[in-house]
Amino acid sequence: MLLPPPEIIAEALKDDKIRVALLVPLSGSEERIGRALQNAAELALFDTADQNFVLRPYDSGGGGDSARAEAAVQAAVADGADMILGPLFGASTTAIAPYARAAQVPVLSFSNDEAVAGDGVYVLGFLPRDQVRRVVNYAEVNGLTRFAAFVPSTPYGRSVASALQSATGEAGVQAVKISYYDPSTPDLTPSVKEFTEHDRRARQQPPGEVPFQAILLPDGAERLRAIGPMLAYYDVDSSNVRLLGTSIWEAGDVTTEPTLVGGWYAAPGPDERAAFDQRYRAAFGSAPPAIAGLAYDATALAAALARDPAAGGFTPARLTANDGFAGVNGIFRLRADGLNERGLAVYEVGSGEKRVIDPAPQSFAPPLIN
C-alpha cells in the first residue's frame, strides 16, 4: 500500500484550512448519481460551512472500480484531507479503508453495507435494522405479536431477515416464519403458496388461519404489486394480517395496489426532506435522488465539527456524540462500531396516498417509539 511521503502531506497542511474530500463516482454508469451527491454536498457547503472549510471532489469510480477508488483516496490523503465523505459503494469503501486508516483519516461512507463499518469507517446509508426495529416496535405497541417475513434471497433480504429476528427478540414478540424467494424468478406463485401454507390450511375443517399476524415484505413496488394479490388469492386476509415494509416502499408507488392498503412501513419523516428537495430543485433544476440527502448531511456534519477545531476536530468522540445530528432525513447519530441510528416515522398506505401515523422522533432521548 503506497501513501504519499510525509513531506508532501506536511506541505499540504501549512495553512489552517479544514480539508474534506468527497469521493463519488464522477465517471461511468453511476456518474449521474455521483453528480447529484456532489450537488447536495455543495448545497450543504453553501448553507453551513465557513471560509476555512474546503470541500474537494474526487472520482471514486463505480462499485467495481477499486483501482479508481484507491487512486482517489491516495490523492485525497496527499492533498491533506482531514475527513473523507463517501464513497458510495461498499466495495469502494473496502478498497479505500486501509489507506484512510493508515493516514488516520475518518471515513463517512454513503454505503449501507454493515460489513464495511468500523475502525474509523462510518456508514451513513439507511440500515434495514433501524427500519425493521421501528416498524416492529410500532406493531407490537398495537397488539401484534407473531411476525413472518417473505424476503428476496439477496444480501439485502438476508439483512432484513436478521433484523427481524433481532427486533422481535428485543420487543419480546415472535418471528414465527421467514421464507426466501428467488428475485430472478418471473413467477412467484409457488413460493407464495408455500409461504402461506395454503395446502395444509385447506385440509383443515374449517380452513385454518396463517400462524402470523404480520408479514414483512422488503421489496419494491413492482414486485409488491404481484405479491399482494397472490397473498390474497391464498387466503391471507390483509384485514387480519398486517403487511409491513421498509423504506424501500418509498421508492415506488405502493398506494395503487389495493392489497397493500393498510400496510405500515418505516422511513424518514417527510418535512425535513421536503425542504431539502425544494432547495435542491431551486439550485439545480431537478429533483434529487433519495440518496443525495446523505451527501448533504455528511457535509453539514463535517462543517459543523470543523467550525470549532479546538474542540478536537473529527475525533471518534465528537463523531459519535450521543445527541447525534439533525439532517435532511431527520435525526441520526453514528455509533462506535461504525453503524448509524436514525429517527424514523411510521407510514400507513392508503388508497392513492400514504400518511404518517407515528411521527419521527425529534431527539434520541428515550423513547424512540412515540
Give the residue with greater pLDDT, 368 vs 144: 144
Q: Same structural domain for residues 282 and 180?
A: no
The answer on pLDDT for 8 being more than 80 is no
- Domain presence at residue 367: no
Distance CA 284, CA 315 (A): 33
With cut-offs at 50, 70 and 90, classify the pLDDT of residue 3.
Answer: low
The CB density around residue 359, as the number of other CB atoms within 10 Å, is 15
Place of cell 479503508: 97
Residues 247 and 182 in one domain: yes
- Angle at the Cα of 369 from the Cα atoms of 366 and 370, rounded to 5 degrees: 100
Residue 117 domain-assigned?
yes
- The Cα 54–Cα 115 span in angstroms is 30
Return the minimum-mean-pLDDT range out of 56-60, 159-163, 205-209. Answer: 205-209
* Residue-level pLDDT at 164: 98
Rounded-to-integer distance, Cα 332 and Cα 311, Å: 21
Domain of 280, CATH number, reads 3.40.50.2300
- Enclosing domain of residue 135: 128-267+345-358
Question: Is the pLDDT assigned to residue 2 strictly greater than 60?
Answer: no
pLDDT at residue 241 is higher than 80:
yes
Q: Are residues 133 and 203 in the same domain?
A: yes
Residues 110 and 135 in one domain: no
| pLDDT for the residue numbered 10 | 46
Supply 186's cell numbers. Answer: 418471473
Tell me if 163 is assigned to some domain: yes
Same domain? 138 vs 14: no
**pLDDT value at residue 95:** 97
Look-up of cell digits 462506535: 336
Same domain, 255 and 189: yes
- Domain assignment of residue 364, yes or no: no
The mean pLDDT of 154-183, rounded to a whole number, is 97
> Is 90 exceeded by the pLDDT of residue 205?
no
CA distance 366 to 42: 34
Cβ atoms of 324 and 364 within 8 Å: the answer is: yes
| Whether residue 101 sits in one domain with residue 163 | no
Tens-place pLDDT, residues 101-127: 999 999 999 999 999 999 999 999 999
| One domain for residues 15 and 115 | yes
Nearest Cα to 301, choosing from 122, 90, 157, 142? 122
Residue with cell 415484505: 217
Model confidence band, residue 253 (pLDDT cutoffs 50, 70, 90): confident
Q: Is residue 232 part of a domain?
A: yes
CA neighbor of 150 nearest in space, from 244, 247, 262 = 244
Domain check: are 147 and 258 in the same one?
A: yes
104: number of Cβ within 10 Å: 10
Relative to beta strand 330-334, strand 325-327 is antiparallel
Helix axes 155-171, 128-141, angle to 10 degrees: 40
More confident residue, 237 or 39: 39
Mean pLDDT of the chain: 92
Q: Residue 224's CB: how many other CB atoms inside 10 A?
A: 23
Lowest mean pLDDT among 76-85, 90-99, 204-213, 309-318: 309-318
As beta bridge partners, residue 24 has: 59
Mean pLDDT of 95-100: 98
Domain shared by 40 and 19, yes or no: yes
pLDDT band at 93 (very low <50, low <70, confident <90, very high): very high
Q: CA distances (Å), 148 to each of 113, 198, 307, 313, in order? A: 24, 15, 47, 45
Counted domains in the chain: 2
Average pLDDT over residues 39-46: 97
User: Model pTM greater than 0.85?
Assistant: yes
Q: Is residue 4 over pLDDT 80?
A: no
Q: Is residue 109 part of a domain?
A: yes
Residues 105 and 186 in one domain: no
- Domain presence at residue 44: yes
Q: Are residues 135 and 90 in the same domain?
A: no
Closest CA to 91 of 59, 113, 124: 113
Helix (H) or strand (E) holding 233: helix 221-233
In a domain, 120, yes or no: yes
